[in-house]
Amino acid sequence: NAGVTQTPKFQVLKTGQSMTLQCAQDMNHEYMSWYRQDPGMGLRLIHYSVGAGITDQGEVPNGYNVSRSTTEDFPLRLLSAAPSQTSVYFCASSNQRFGTANSPLHFGNGTRLTVT
Amino acid sequence: AQSVTQLDSQVPVFEEAPVELRCNYSSSVSVYLFWYVQYPNQGLQLLLKYLSGSTLVKGINGFEAEFNKSQTSFHLRKPSVHISDTAEYFCAVSEREESNFGNEKLTFGTGTRLTIIP
The pLDDT tens digits of the residues spanning A50-65 come to: 899 999 999 899 999 9
pLDDT > 70? residue A99: no
**Minimum Cα–Cα distance from B43: chain A residue:** A109
Range B28-48 burial, b when 16+ CB lie within 10 A, else e = eeebbbbbbbbeeeebbebbb
What is the dihedral angle through the alpha carbons of B47, B50, B54, B59, rounded to the nearest 10 degrees?
Answer: 0
Confidence category of residue B103, pLDDT binned at 50, 70, 90: low
**Minimum Cα–Cα distance from A106: chain B residue:** B45
Q: Which of A93, A116, A73 is nearest to A29 (CA)?
A: A93
Cis peptide before B79 (omega within 30 of 0): no
Q: How many beta-carbon contacts under 8 Å exist across A and B?
A: 64
Residue B56 Cα, gap to closest chain A Cα (Å): 16
> Does B94 reach chain A within 8 Å, measured CB to CB?
yes
Residues on chain A bordering chain B, Cβ-to-Cβ distance under 8 angstroms: 4, 31, 35, 40-45, 48, 50, 58, 90, 92, 96-102, 104-110
Q: What angle do CA B27, B76, B91 make, to 5 degrees?
A: 45
pLDDT > 70? residue B83: yes
